[in-house]
Amino acid sequence: MVQPMEGIRILDVCDHTFVPAASAVLADWGADVIKIEHAKRGDAARGLGSSGALDLTGKVHAILEHANRGKRSLGLDLQTDEGIAILHRLVAISDVFLTNKPPNVRERLRISEEEVRPHNENIVYAAGTAWGPNGPEGNRGGYDMTSFWVRSGAAMATWYTDDERMPSQPGPAFGDSIGAMTIAGGIATALFHRERTGEALSLEVSLLGTGLWAMGAGVAMSHVSNTPWRPIDLSGARQPLLGNYVTADGYTINITCLQPLPYWQEFCRVIGRPELIEDERFTSYETLTENAGPAREIVNEVVTSRTLEELRELFADFSGQWTPALDTLEIIDDPQVKANGYVQDAETQDGIPFKLVAVPVQFNGEPAAPGRAPGFNEHGDEILTENLGMDWDEVIELKVKGVVA
């Protein structure tokens, strides 16, 4: 299995999900990721009891596993001089320094770029924040719900005016996971640049900036039209093969064919109604859009009179774009997902099996091998003795002082 990041070491000084998930991506690609955790409580995410409506107190901490697969853990007190000295020794043998701390916290913890780079001039310094490093909110904390979803315009863009409540983002760590891929791509690019030029870059990614990027086309269209983007009611679309329909067994399917006339003609043949192709109401783009109502009734009749499986058979050779809407439990067993290895079998540190969504980038057509999150300080002794060359007397003394876990 190809591991393009093999030989790269990442020093991960992060909590929660957004930035840690970035190094999890790189760990899946072969990087050695050393996760620095608080010497007593560990990553703040370990103490998170719930995420919205999801209980995280069971035997599998799904969010922690998602964002920390494949890493090694060291509990280290960064508020002590000895702890910072150990961190600097790790910096010296690492390729990337990664943190999610806001600029003012980096300064307080002595982990700013200015503090880190003197210990390794070739290190890539990467940071992820909620709002970006500059401006009046540069030092504020935030989560993907606040910075990626709500502030970026995404929440308002999905808020139907007749709904009293603004919609929440679709799932836990939704914006975090998208932002993490952005950071991982930035780090990979910075390493490539270093390889070509010898220059070690710094990079910053924010949840706000990533959310804006995700909404980029809508923001641009809003500026051109001087109208805020709002949800589109597909039930009134002026073309029949664009919208949501409900099957006889209660599934919702979405049809999105953006070139209406050729797909309409093919659709008519597939459903056994070729005479509709010559129906004067539907013979041109203009007449089809003018008579979208009657055409939608035909589509609705086809869908509502059949089960999802019957529609799968009916549309097996239809080249138009359609799909059933699945929930987050159904998608695990979806044949297309299974065929591509998008969901993998994994085990916790205690051997408890669970399903883990794979990083979507596949090299040479192979999904990355599934990893697991480390236990708190699981690799602490190993990192101190093998990577830093400490003897056991030194390690024990540091443990007694509380510098390491």
pLDDT digits (tens, 9 = 90+) for 110-167: 999 999 999 999 999 999 999 999 999 999 999 999 999 999 999 999 998 788 899 9
Q: Which stretches in the chain have pLDDT values below 50?
A: none
Residue 6 confidence (pLDDT): 98
Residue 348 confidence (pLDDT): 94
Buried b (16+ CB within 10 A) or exposed e, 168-194: ebeebbbbbbbbbbbbbebbbebbeeb
Residue 51 confidence (pLDDT): 56
Q: Give, as one character, the DSSP assignment of residue 268.
A: H
pTM here?
0.94
Alpha-carbon span 169 to 148, nearest angstrom: 9
Please state the separation of Cα 134 from the chain's center in Å: 24
**If you classify domain 9-216+341-401 with CATH, what class do you get?**
alpha beta
Name the one residue in this structure whose structure tokens are 């540190």: 349
Residue 162 confidence (pLDDT): 81
For 366, phi then psi, to 5°, come to: -115, 130
Residue 361 confidence (pLDDT): 96
Indicate the domain borders of the chain.
9-216+341-401, 234-324
The stretches of 57-173 forming alpha helices (DSSP H) are 62-68, 81-92, 103-109, 113-116, 154-157
Residue 53 confidence (pLDDT): 56
Structure-block tokens of residue 171: 């799932």
Residue 50 confidence (pLDDT): 56
Structure-block tokens of residue 260: 């209406």
Q: Give yes or no for a contact between 338 and 367, defined as CB atoms under 8 angstroms apart.
A: no
CATH assignment of 234-324, given 3.40.50.2300, 3.30.450.20, 3.30.1540.10, 3.30.930.10?
A: 3.30.1540.10
pLDDT digits (tens, 9 = 90+) for 370-380: 899 999 999 99
